[in-house]
Amino acid sequence: MDRNTTKSQPGKVALVGGGPGDPELITIKADRMLRRADVVLYDHLADERLLEVCREDARLIDVGKIPGEKRTSQSVINGLLAKEAAQGFFVVRLKGGDPFVFGRGGEEAIYLRERGIEVEIVPGISSSISAPAAAGIPVTHRGVTTHFSVITGMSGTESKEELARRWTELARAGGTLVFLMGVGRLELIVESLRKAGVDGATPAAMIRRGTTEDQQTIQATVDTIVDAVRAAELRPPATLIVGDVVALRGAIMECVDPPQRSRRTQRV
């Protein structure tokens, strides 16, 4: 593809969910979009092996956002998407998980449509359900819980105090609690759970890089999870699960294939 060539036909942007980490968990449609793309803007959470199917002449642009490190601002990403599509290119915005689960895909879709650019949404498997599943933890289970909440540990619009109040409210609603992007605020999350009256003995687990070969699971309780995560020097990306379903993990992992069972586990 000639980078200096503007196509005569209008461009388009596909907001594509790349799945939770394991490249085999990408959808057929997402794979097809990557094979067609002129330009791909991808996040650090999207496994780079997914890019191997792209055309040799496709432009691959890393706009990864790593907490606490150098990042590409959302405004710059929005501008890049619009600029490339305006030149007639088919642009794939590849995100980890699902583009609409804390992926800011909604913001990008609205920004592009306001500028007359066609958008297609390609859902992906979210780590909020797949990371627990890969670790042998069902977010719902008959006789244990009938509902679950997916909660962000970070927000660009709410202060940590506002988030903490929301965590407390959700904890009081019961069910399984799944926190994404919560490693950096784990202590505050635990404090909020205690304020909500959550028993310190309630099972909890932190899963790093769920569904991948590097998956690491720390199984603990609300009272011990902070020290366990600190001792393991666990870094993002990771998913926190709090609830009685975590206690089912032992029985469920006995049923799975040995390679999946052998992924690193630490109990506290």
Kindly state whether residues 115 and 145 are assigned to the same domain: no
Q: What is the CATH number of the domain that holds 189?
A: 3.30.950.10
The reported pLDDT for the residue numbered 77 is: 95
pTM equals: 0.88
Query: Could you tell me which residue, 52 or 163, shows the higher pLDDT?
Result: 52
Query: Which tens digit of pLDDT belongs to each residue from 22-51?
Result: 999 999 999 999 999 999 999 988 888 999
Per-chain mean pLDDT for the chain? 91
Structure confidence at residue 70 (pLDDT): 64
> Is position 12 annotated as part of the catalytic site?
no
Is the bond preceding 123 in cis, omega lying within 30 degrees of 0? Answer: no
What whole-number distance in Å separates Cα of residue 197 and Cα of residue 256?
Answer: 34
Pair (21, 101) in one structural domain: yes
Q: Considering 43, 47, 95, 206, which one is annotated as catalytic?
A: 43
Band of pLDDT at residue 156, cut at 50, 70 and 90:
low
pLDDT at position 260? 62
The active-site residue, picked from 22, 38, 47, 181, is 181
Q: Are residues 160 and 71 in the same domain?
A: no
Enclosing domain of residue 27: 12-125
Q: Which of 1, 12, 29, 65 is catalytic?
A: 65
Residue 43 a catalytic site member: yes
- Does the structure show a pLDDT above 80 at 196? yes
Count of other CB atoms within 10 angstroms of residue 56: 5
Does 173 have pLDDT greater than 70? Answer: yes
Q: Is 181 an active-site residue? A: yes
